[in-house]
Amino acid sequence: MDREKLAGAGRYVLAALKWAGVSLLTGTICGLLGTAFHWAIDQATAYRSGHMQIVWLLPIAGAATLMLYRLCRVSFDAGTNLIISSVTTDEHIPALLAPLITAGTLLSHLFGASVGREGAALQLGGSIGHNLGEILRFDEDDVRVMSMCGMAACFSAMFGTPVSAAVFVLEVIYVGTFQYVAFLPCIISSFTAGRISKALGSAPMSFTLRELPAPAWDTALRTAALAALTALLSIALCTALHKAAELWAGLVKNPYLRIAIGGLAMAALVSVFHLDDYAGAGAHMIERAIGGEAEPWAFALKLLLTALCVGAGFRGGEIVPTLFIGASFGCAVGPLLGLAPGFAAAIAMTALFCSVVNCPIATMFLAAEMFRTTELGLFAVGIAVAFVLSGYFGLYNSQRFRFSKVKRRDYSDRLL
């Protein structure tokens, strides 16, 4: 028995050393590429902000993105859902997906589509990790772990939140379970990429709360009420994003014409109604809401514009717009419940994130890293309430629910 234990311990040491090496390699590659991509997005955003007239070129940018995918023979539907499903299936991730999502997202941000960047981070990292695993001739299970390493690393490099990046990837695949087999590799790759990003001067996505109230009973109840309303908002957001794609596909059959019309509509709305702050991801609007300033209609307007652009086919993602929507919603609604606007913005932002990705543990770490706090009691209340009340809606159709949210019932392969 002792010999068997020693032999088993030896295998674990070898496995740990193997994954430490390949995770460091993955984290380094994704850290460098993710940081470069982060810098490019910032430069594109800065240029657009100083030359808002270029939003009128958004239809051309959208058509060019679609053409690039067609020329490279990569399905335009290959996105974050493919990356997530590849972890549980034998689906191959095209090597060209990494440069394509990078180019498409840069074009979206440069010309003002209301999209985020986490989709690019997950697809870029997942593609790199998957194909690196195949180059190293890993078996199918290890290639899947490599995909997760890449996803965590690029997410960490772009957002500066290494713990929540790793936990998010471990939690998002199967709701109700945790991919422990990838725990060590994802942590190493995420922290490696995060350190590289920081060393190269990338600023993490973090905010300063002016006031964090003590977790008294009345404050907890008000927080729970705000989270319940945020859960309803998450259902509206997820429904709008999914239905918008179906609506566009039904109204305009030609994909080139569809994305061009969507871009033209976005450009017209931004130019005519002076909606400069709603073009691109809108990270600066999150900071404004956390500071206690947001227009009462900001969340609804951002939701509609994001549904317009994502539904039409623009590349990027939905997470940063989701944070925008949640923060501005909390800032507007929180005072009606007796909460400080900045604190309410932080609660609603994290609650909405949790609701649309169904990852409560990752969201707790995200709150700690983004707000640089260990006082997580009220955040926990908001996240827990929103997680349960948001039901089985979510951003990613390929995400699977392993267990019911309200009863220990095995749902096996139930999809969103």
- CA pair distance 190, 149, nearest whole angstrom: 7
Domain membership of residue 204 (yes or no) is: no
The pLDDT value recorded for residue 313 is 93
Integer angstrom CA distances of residue 20 from 124, 154, 287: 21, 17, 36
Amino acid (1-letter code) at residue 31:
G
- CA pair distance 189, 195, nearest whole angstrom: 10
- CA pair distance 86, 150, nearest whole angstrom: 13
Which residue range is the domain that position 256 belongs to? 217-415
Handedness of CA 53, 55, 61, 63 (dihedral sign): negative
Quick one: 264 exposed, middle or buried, by C-beta within 10 A (0-12, 13-18, 19+)? middle
Shared domain for 148 and 240, answered yes or no, is: no
Handedness of CA 293, 298, 302, 305 (dihedral sign): negative
3-state secondary structure of 403: strand
Q: Point out the domain boundary residue: 139, 173, 199.
A: 199
Domain membership of residue 318 (yes or no) is: yes
Shared domain for 50 and 147, answered yes or no, is: yes
Domain membership of residue 156 (yes or no) is: yes
Handedness of CA 212, 280, 396, 228 (dihedral sign): positive
Shared domain for 308 and 169, answered yes or no, is: no
Domain membership of residue 211 (yes or no) is: no
3-state secondary structure of 379: helix
Task: Specify whether the CB–CB gap between 110 and 126 falls below 8 A.
Answer: no
The pLDDT value recorded for residue 329 is 98
- CA pair distance 166, 275, nearest whole angstrom: 35
3-state secondary structure of 410: strand
DSSP code of 335?
A: G
Shared domain for 51 and 187, answered yes or no, is: yes
- CA pair distance 230, 406, nearest whole angstrom: 18
The pLDDT value recorded for residue 173 is 86
- CA pair distance 353, 51, nearest whole angstrom: 31
Shared domain for 333 and 287, answered yes or no, is: yes
DSSP code of 203?
A: P
The pLDDT value recorded for residue 174 is 83
Shared domain for 226 and 179, answered yes or no, is: no
Shared domain for 163 and 224, answered yes or no, is: no
CATH number of the domain that 390 lies in?
1.10.3080.10
Structure tokens at 403: 């267990």
The pLDDT value recorded for residue 323 is 96
Shared domain for 168 and 39, answered yes or no, is: yes
Shared domain for 63 and 172, answered yes or no, is: yes
Shared domain for 195 and 221, answered yes or no, is: no
Shared domain for 160 and 268, answered yes or no, is: no
Domain membership of residue 410 (yes or no) is: yes
- CA pair distance 233, 222, nearest whole angstrom: 17
Based on the structure, what is the number of domains in the chain? Answer: 2
Domain membership of residue 270 (yes or no) is: yes
Any long-range contacts for 65-69 (C-beta under 8 Å, 24+ apart)? Answer: 65/103, 65/104, 65/107, 65/108, 65/259, 65/313, 65/314, 65/315, 66/255, 66/256, 66/259, 66/313, 67/256, 68/100, 68/103, 68/104, 69/100, 69/104
pLDDT tens for the chain, residues 1 to 416: 566 655 556 778 888 899 999 999 999 999 999 999 999 999 999 999 999 999 999 999 999 999 999 999 988 887 787 788 777 777 778 888 889 999 999 999 999 999 988 778 888 899 999 999 999 999 989 999 999 999 999 999 999 999 999 999 999 988 888 888 899 999 999 999 999 999 999 888 999 888 888 889 999 999 999 999 999 999 999 999 999 999 999 999 999 999 999 999 999 999 999 999 999 988 899 999 999 999 999 999 999 999 999 999 999 888 999 999 999 999 999 999 999 999 999 999 999 999 999 999 999 999 999 999 999 999 999 999 999 999 989 998 877 777 777 766 655 555 55
Structure tokens at 244: 């918008």
Shared domain for 177 and 222, answered yes or no, is: no
Q: Point out the domain boundary residue: 164, 199, 234.
A: 199
Domain membership of residue 205 (yes or no) is: no
Domain membership of residue 208 (yes or no) is: no
The pLDDT value recorded for residue 276 is 95
- CA pair distance 168, 366, nearest whole angstrom: 9
Any long-range contacts for 209-213 (C-beta under 8 Å, 24+ apart)? Answer: 209/290, 209/342, 209/343, 209/346, 209/371, 209/373, 210/291, 210/292, 210/340, 210/342, 211/340, 211/342, 211/343, 212/343, 212/371, 212/373, 212/375, 212/378, 213/339, 213/340, 213/343, 213/378
Strand partners, 400: 174, 415
The pLDDT value recorded for residue 414 is 53
The strand pair at 400-403 and 174-175 is best described as: parallel
